[in-house]
Amino acid sequence: MTSNSTITQSYDMAASTWRTKIEGLGYAAAYRWLIDQTGLQASGANVLDAGCGTGDFARALIEVSGIPKCVTLLDPAQEMVATATRSLTHITRDIRPVIATLQDAPVQSHDIVLCAHVIEHFADPVAALGMLKQHLAPGGRLLLIVSKPHWCNWIIWVRWRHRMIKPKHMHHHLQAAALTCLWDAGFPVGPPSRSSHAYLITHSQRTIQ
């Protein structure tokens, strides 16, 4: 399997054209649709975009649901974080770039955690969910997008070596991580409808006393 450092270098090299590709393939529109469907309200919230790429998920959140108090952009690819920071500077007040893996990121509490196509790069999805859970405030919301099995994802796998997780298996992983799925759905159109499934998640009731 391709090493994590090699994957990070590949993402760095792709940073300059990543946002254009995201827009062209319909993922930015899919993010906006998803946030509208879930009714998330970002105004005044502390937000983490874990595996932020060029910041398209965070941008969609701001465009649809308001300006957060703070947006933390987390990604191990330096060029991705730099591109995301430049992209969002004029539309939100407080941006905090963090160049680190999810494993190494300083743990802080966030009202909203965004995470698109990250846990598929972990050998243990439950462990990855546990890391995301550490960043989620009690009563907070995790909006997760995960690759699902489809022939088009095998084309993506050739370069990025990600895993694909069936929705029914994701629900088992969430239960194992003591997280509750409040809502989940596939995307309605385009490549996102074939490649991805979305989940709105919070802490299991027994973890917030």
Looking at per-residue pLDDT, the higher value among 151 and 50 belongs to 50
Condensed to tens digits (0 to 9), the pLDDT of residues 157-186 reads: 445 455 789 999 999 999 999 999 999 999
> Which has the closest alpha carbon to 50: 24, 88, 76?
76
> Which has the closest alpha carbon to 37: 203, 192, 174, 167?
192
Q: pTM for the complete prediction?
A: 0.89
Condensed to tens digits (0 to 9), the pLDDT of residues 7-46 reads: 677 667 767 786 788 898 899 999 999 999 999 999 999 9
Kindly compute the dihedral angle of the four CA atoms of residues 187, 189, 190, 193, in this order, to the nearest 10 degrees: 30
The mean pLDDT of the chain is: 89
